[in-house]
Structure 1
């Protein structure tokens, strides 16, 4: 077996491991919950940080900065609880791509790499260069979750099981 086939086989086995996928789902959900918790108490400061990046026009940057923490909260809760996990993984992937674009633009413009990233508000201070690495890692995690489609220990699977059960009792 070639090296690539072995790697694909290993990746396929990993994606089929429901415990690994559950752990990744909880990890990614926790990252988004932590991020939202750090931004929401001082949302105006986060909006200022987003506009300061200069990636988006002022109005769009303000809207993005205002909506992002709430979207992170919703996606984080969805991933942790297992409510629409594939939708949440897809939404997280889109957010992560926007983070990579913002942080990549920051680096490309040759701003200081050791500048703090507003990723987690006041809860956790990380440098932009570290945030960019983290963004790539969580992008891989979100992609695996999106592709796996695992419904292990999700509220969705529990709810659908209950609904199907009601249909059987009605007969």
Structure 2
């Protein structure tokens, strides 16, 4: 190797000292991503707002919930640190199961009557929100897989370096 050629794994340049590690980055850019709890909290907040607006407008979960839920969940996968993607990727079913019944109880009160009445009162909004949850979950999983495949360690050895290391004789032989 010549002196003009710089080794990939050598000491970073002065400009590189202030950059964010690859595992702490969001999907795009070189800025630090959100911690997992902040990304999940953002999804919960947007889902609560969308559910509240939908339920106070016509007593059903509709497009406002679907849009805010989708934007919150996909946004959390885009802006979370790469190393913290698991929570935001798997959150859509959990957010739906927690937020919708909670907002139904807070806006319309605890259902009265028998078990069937309570089940219908809390279950119908969950069923109405299922298509939005299914589409959102599919998008977050695909986006998470994309990030895992495309955002890899830039300092990992190349295939040629791995082959060369396997061919080298060991010193202890």
Fold in common (TM above 0.5): no
TM-score (norm 1): 0.30
TM-score (norm 2): 0.30
Q: Which structure dedicates a bigger proportion of its chain to strand?
A: 1
Question: Larger Cα Rg: Structure 1 or Structure 2?
Answer: 2
Q: Which structure dedicates a bigger proportion of its chain to helix?
A: 1
